[in-house]
Amino acid sequence: METTEPYGDRLARTEWLIAELRQRADSCEDPHERTNLHRSADALVRLATSLRP
Amino acid sequence: MTVDQIQSALQHHNAGRVIPAAAPHTLPELLTQHARAALSLSGADQSAWNGQIVEAGDGILGLAHWDGTLHLDREFILAPLHDLYARAGESRPTTTLARYRDALLTLLHEQSHFLGPHGATQEAARQAFHTLGAQALEEGVAEAWSHTHLDAYLHHLAIPHHAPGIEHVATRPSYQSYVPATLALTNYLDHRRSQPPGNTLHLLNRQTTEGQWPLVVDLLYRSTTLPRRVPPLQEPEVRHHLESHLRTAFQSLEVLQFLPQDLAAHRSRSTLHAALTTLDQDLARLTNAFPRAQERARHSPDDELELTR
């Protein structure tokens, strides 16, 4: 059951989301929230890795 | 010196030079033994971990790579775990114990990604991972299961012996976009199937991404009267309809990742509650659309003719 979004678009969007989450983590002062943001980015790294040919 | 000791622990482990003990007493022993403890706790048939651990780069804390390698961050994972054994048995402040706990949670979470049934492959899991709603369910299951089984995991590895008090430190799951939705779905299925809380989560955790949505739909479908009502030829279509509905709800969770954790959790929960309400209505509609054989016979034209005779 595939998503309707083309792979290339989804990969580009996922990579943008990873960069955005890491940027937020870097400027976050709450250590717990910072860890959450990094871990959310990690989940998207796993997705981006699965999308790459 | 810690830097060298961590490097040395990784090299020692990756070269296969660590002799497993009854319970780990050093970082290399933990690195070697942590996966077997996760496998044993889960009841899964196999782990796709290839035994190798590398120091993560690029701001990654923990990553179960599709090639089977485990990536772990030095600052947040490896250094706290090294410290745990370097100061074994000492009393430590709650913040230090929470760091150890978070590091061990990441180990269990990443190992959960590698678990699967006999014959499952990482390539098939990788292909399934980018299908509709697959990533949200898989991450939600890995985090919710790891969090609920963390204390058992710590005891399995004798961690409280080295870090007294660690089992009393409260930590909160990450992935609040996915965890509340996953728990709403698995609790719903536990209830429908008259199983104890956590049963569905445990079963899903033993699957790779490839098997998770098919299992959800199978458990759901068999919890209804539909198997006795739907003709075999129409069953795939009905299952597809149910699966598509739930997958779409999970896919919609992706955008919640930018919200503050409490709001993400609230939206995650409410999204699934709405989806499950619609699902209940769908199941009632399908039940009416496919009457049981005896009901069909009772209402068939032949039957009515018979009655009028």
Q: Residue B298: which pLDDT band, with cuts at 50, 70 and 90?
A: low
Measure A51 CA to nearest chain B CA, in Å.
7
Partners of B102 on chain A (C-beta within 8 Å) are 35
d(CA B153, CA B107): 10
Average pLDDT, chain A: 88
Q: Do B257 and A21 contact (CB within 8 A), yes or no?
A: yes
**What pLDDT digit, counting tens, does each position of B140-167 carry?**
999 999 999 999 999 999 999 999 999 9
Q: What is the mean pLDDT of residues B261-275?
A: 97
Q: Which of B63, B258, B260 sits opposite A46 (nearest CB)?
A: B63
**What pLDDT digit, counting tens, does each position of B276-294 carry?**
999 999 999 999 999 876 6
Does the distance separating the beta carbons of B62 and A22 come in below 8 Å?
Answer: no
Instruction: Check whether B261 has a pLDDT greater than 80.
Output: yes
pLDDT at res. B67: 96
Measure B165 CA to nearest chain A CA, in Å.
20
Kindly tell me the number of DSSP H helices and DSSP E strands found in chain B. 14, 5
From residue B282, alpha-carbon distances to B141, B212, B228, B241, B277 in Å are 25, 21, 17, 9, 9
Q: Which of B63, B102, B258 sits opposite A45 (nearest CB)?
A: B63
pLDDT at res. B115: 98
Residue closest to B125 by CA, chosen among B206, B183, B221 = B206
Looking at chain A, the whole-number percentage of residues with pLDDT higher than 90 is 55
Partners of B239 on chain A (C-beta within 8 Å) are none
Does the distance separating the beta carbons of B129 and A47 come in below 8 Å?
Answer: yes
pLDDT at res. B22: 81
pLDDT at res. A7: 80
Count other Cβ atoms within 10 Å, centred on residue B278: 13
Q: What is the mean pLDDT of residues B75-96?
A: 94
Does the distance separating the beta carbons of B62 and A42 come in below 8 Å?
Answer: yes
DSSP string over B224-274 = SSGGGTS-GGGHHHHHHHHHHHHHHHHHGGGGGGGS-HHHHHHHHHHHHHH
d(CA B188, CA B178): 15
d(CA B220, CA B209): 17
Does the distance separating the beta carbons of B176 and A10 come in below 8 Å?
Answer: no
d(CA B199, CA B194): 10
What is this structure's pTM?
A: 0.93
Mutation pick from B104, B257, B268 vs chain A, by most beta carbons of A within 10 Å, is B257
ipTM: 0.91
**What pLDDT digit, counting tens, does each position of B208-218 carry?**
999 999 999 99
Q: What are phi and psi of B3, to 5 degrees?
A: -55, -50
Q: Do B177 and B257 contact (CB within 8 A), yes or no?
A: yes
Strand runs labelled E in B2-76? 46-47, 53-55, 62-64, 70-72
pLDDT at res. A33: 86
d(CA B252, CA B271): 8
